[in-house]
Amino acid sequence: MFCDLYLKYNPKNKKQMEKLIAMAIKLNYDCVAFNQNFTGKITEKSTFEPIILNEKKDQENSTKKISTLRLISDGKKGFKQLSRMTYIPSSNNDFVYLNRSSQILETFDIVAIEPKTKVFFDKCCEISYIDIITFDLNEKIDFQLSYKQIKQAIRNGIFFEIRYSSLLGETQIRRKAMNNILNIIKYTKGKNIIFSSGTSSLMELRGPYDIMNLGTLFDLPFEKGKLSISKNCESAISHGYLRKTFNGIVEQKNIEEIDEKEKWELGEQNLNLNQNSNQNSNQNTNQNENMEIEKQK
C-alpha cells in the first residue's frame, strides 16, 4: 500500500482537493492524508470532512463515512482518506493543549508535531501520543539533532517526515531542503522515515517509484525508500489508530477473522507469530492423537 500522508487541506477549494485525490489515484497511491496546521491554544474540536470524488453512489460501496479509514466510493476501490493535524508549538506551555487527554487527538487519524527548537524537539521525542515529527525543510533546521533522542522517538513508535515538495522550489530553498534531508537521514540512519509531498499542487505530486529513486540521492537504500511510502506509513496509521482507541485498548479478534485487506495493520511480525503458533498447535494436536492411538493398542 503506497501512501502520501501530507496533502494540504483546504475546505474552501474542494475542487482542487478532488483533483489531488484523482492524481494520487492515477499515480497508484492507495491512501492519502489531508493535513491541517494548528498553533497556540486549541479551544475547539476541529472537524474533517472526507472529499467525495463523485456524487454518484457506487453499487458496491455507498458514500458513507468511516470513522478512521474513510473510503472514497468512486475512483479506486478501497482508496483511503485520512485526517491529519500538525501542531506547531511556540512555547513550552503549548504542550498542555496537546496531551493524551486532549479531545482533538480523537478527531484526527494522524497527529504530527513540527518543532522549531531543540527543547521542543526533545519533548516530541519523549511523548508517545504523537505519530510523526515533521520539519519545515524550507528553512534550516536551527538546532542539533540527537541520536539519543531519535532512538527514544523510534522506541515510542514515532516517525520522521521528509516533505519532498521543498526540493521543487527555488535554488536557495532547494539547497536548504537538501541539507536538512541529509541531516535527518544521517541521524535516523534511515529508520522510521516517511516521505510525503506536503503540497496542494498537482505539479508537485510524484509517483511512489520516483520517490524511492529520490531517496537514493540522499544515501537512503532503495528498499528503505520503499518502506518510507508504504510500511512505515502503515505503521504510523496503526499508531494513530491505537491512540484513538481508548489509549491502546482495542477489540480482540482472531487473525483468521480479520479481512485480508486489513491485515497489513498487524505487521508481518505478528502474522508470522500467529502462523508459527498455529503450526505448533497442529503439531501438538497430532502428537496427542498418536498417543491416544498407542494407548488403545
Contact 75, 23 (CB under 8 A): no
pLDDT (0 to 100) of residue 214: 92
Count H helices, E strands: the chain? 9, 8
Global model pTM greater than 0.85: no
Superfamily assignment of 3-248 in CATH?
Metal-dependent hydrolases (3.20.20.140)
CB 215 within 8 A of CB 188: no
Per-residue pLDDT of the chain (297 residues; tens, 9 = 90+): 899 999 998 878 888 888 999 999 999 999 999 999 988 777 655 555 656 655 443 333 433 333 333 444 344 567 899 999 999 988 888 877 777 777 777 888 999 999 999 999 999 999 888 999 999 999 999 899 999 999 999 999 999 999 999 998 888 899 999 999 999 999 999 999 999 999 988 999 999 999 999 999 998 999 999 999 999 999 999 999 888 775 545 445 555 655 564 554 455 545 555 566 556 555 555 555 555 555 555
Q: Where are the chain's structural domains?
A: 3-248
The contacts of residue 165 (CB under 8 Å, 6+ apart) are: 197, 198, 199, 201, 204
What nine digits make up the cell of 208?
A: 511512489
**What's the pLDDT score for residue 72?**
42
In this structure, what are the phi and psi dihedrals at residue 199, rounded to the nearest 5 degrees?
-135, 165
C-beta of residue 94 within 8 angstroms of C-beta of residue 40: yes
